[in-house]
Chain A
Amino acid sequence: MAKIICITCPKGCHLTVDEVTYEITGNNCPRGAVYGKNELTAPTRVITSTVAVSGGEICRCPVRTESPVPKGKMFDVMEAIHAVRIVSPVRIGDVVIENVCGTGVNVIATRNI
């Protein structure tokens, strides 16, 4: 039995996960069950950072992965984000990096600049 804390929402449910059957107790919602299994089999995280932007009123544009990426690729994704330079205007949701590090996930802008 693995004891983990669900990070899907701020409630932070204390989950108990069976390592063989992935049966989960302690979750208050179905998302906890999905998280509990994923966390043991293939943990993922949303990565947020900033990229350099020129021509705007500020010099950094906040970005995030559109959906969670494999936890093991966090630092590869960060390197890819560091390499990017963009130019204003940028709108929320604009794709900054397509299919980052082969994860199938886009990195998108999260501020209008």
Chain B
Amino acid sequence: MREVIVIGGGPAGLAAAISARDNGATDVLVIERDTCVGGILNQCIHNGFGLHRFKEELSGPEYASRFAENLDNIEVLTDTMVLEVTADRIVRAVSRDHGYMELQAKAIVLAMGCRERTRGAISIPGDRPAGVYTAGAAQRYLNIEGYMVGKNAVILGSGDIGLIMARRMTLEGAKVHACVELMPYSGGLTRNIVQCLNDFDIPLYLSHTITDIRGKNRVEGVTIAKVGPDRKPIAGTEFDIECDTVLLSVGLIPENELTRGAGIPIDRRTNGAYVYENMETLCEGIFACGNVVHVHDLVDYVSAESERAGKAAAIYASGNKASGRVIEVEAGNGVSYTVPQKIRPENCDKKVDMFFRVRNVYQNVRLVVRDGDRVVASFNREHCAPGEMEHIVVPVALMGNAEKLTVSVEEVK
């Protein structure tokens, strides 16, 4: 019997494992499918990680090493694939070194992260030539394997990875002709628009999409068109760009096959498990954290969230179950989801961290938490955008006897 098993050795899994150990778990196992820990941070060689946490601007590998070098008394199985997790906390895994394993855990932390949406997921019409990559795949080729994926690129989607790759490709000598975004606003952080596109005069086409990819063996060009408010291409607005590479940065999907297999309820809005305030899923003793719960912008927040999950897993493994009444958290006007979706006030330490995304770009608004008509807490924001995750801290004392809390965006009157 293992005390805590953490599935995934990326930023979420490492922070959860360290936190579980630091909170009293003596037998913590991390299972990672890659040959080393660190996850996607290893290929994120750009800087900007750790500003919140370490007050320093680190690159991804540096940020990962701060955790990877703090794994004393934690067992790590790399090159090991988890095949199945069950609701009664059995983990089935396989590796070349150890063969098939069946491990019983007292508590499990799910930290599998997310994967990229592909061309198939968004159905871009056109030919099927070589040269169409997800931005993250291109990032791996370039930063870890040392291959340039192309010389003339167009990027579809303005997610952070796409923006970061626009800069990387440009610095490495490629010409990035355009970044094309379906929505009227960018999906990435504003700072990345500035330092990755504007710095290199790469045009950003908002409310545009790629309507055709041409090429027999290799990509030869794309057709771009303006889209209307219904996000459908407008006839007559098409223009062509010659290029040999298309990078897709069109969203991330939490990787929840194991979660679904265990029968853990998934929130359709986040594509991650429903979680309580301590990151426990609706399946007792199984916790989840990081991008497998909801896609974050900043790894700093992943680490903080995962530490709460790891701590809660250690507490559960020691025999202390979380209990008490449950407050449901609802996404109100202008809010697309909240994490956590459920709060057990008796299980909280004075305040609850709540994360969510807004549905649109707003200026000078208030983020309001209400219990019916009563305002529980209110936070002013000069600027909110869907690409930037919101974080509010709500004191439990203010929640009173609420059965349901609604988080919404309200105009400042």
Binding site for B on A (CB under 8 A): 4-10, 12, 14, 45-50, 52, 57-60, 62, 64, 71, 74-75, 78, 92, 110-112
B388: chain A residues within 8 A (beta carbon) = 10, 12
Question: What are 20 A-B pairs at a CB distance below 8 A?
Answer: A6-B191, A7-B194, A9-B51, A10-B48, A10-B297, A10-B298, A12-B383, A45-B195, A46-B57, A48-B59, A49-B168, A50-B142, A58-B144, A60-B145, A60-B146, A62-B59, A62-B60, A75-B171, A110-B62, A111-B42
Partner of B191, one of A5, A58, A92, A110: A5
Closest chain B residue to A39, Cβ basis? B194
B42: chain A residues within 8 A (beta carbon) = 111
Interface bits B155-173 vs A (CB < 8 Å: 1, else 0): 0000000000000100110
Partner of A48, one of B47, B52, B193, B199: B47
Whether B394 is near chain A, meaning CB under 8 Å from some CB there, is: no
Are A50 and B171 in contact (CB-based, < 8 A)?
Answer: no
B309: chain A residues within 8 A (beta carbon) = none
B62: chain A residues within 8 A (beta carbon) = 92, 110-111
Cα A7 to Cα B193 in complex, Å, equals 9
Interface bits B130-149 vs A (CB < 8 Å: 1, else 0): 00000000000011111000
Whether B225 is near chain A, meaning CB under 8 Å from some CB there, is: no
Are B51 and A59 in contact (CB-based, < 8 A)?
Answer: no
Partner of B47, one of A14, A46, A50, A58: A46
Are B45 and A52 in contact (CB-based, < 8 A)?
Answer: no
Minimum distance in angstroms from A14 CB to a CB of chain B: 7
B80-98 contacts to A (CB < 8 Å): none
A71: chain B residues within 8 A (beta carbon) = 199
A59: chain B residues within 8 A (beta carbon) = 145-146
Minimum distance in angstroms from A112 CB to a CB of chain B: 7
Partner of B172, one of A14, A49, A57, A110: A49
A14: chain B residues within 8 A (beta carbon) = 382-383
B57: chain A residues within 8 A (beta carbon) = 46
Are A62 and B48 in contact (CB-based, < 8 A)?
Answer: no
Whether B26 is near chain A, meaning CB under 8 Å from some CB there, is: no
Cα A76 to Cα B189 in complex, Å, equals 27
Minimum distance in angstroms from A82 CB to a CB of chain B: 9
Whether B65 is near chain A, meaning CB under 8 Å from some CB there, is: yes
A12: chain B residues within 8 A (beta carbon) = 189-191, 194, 383, 388
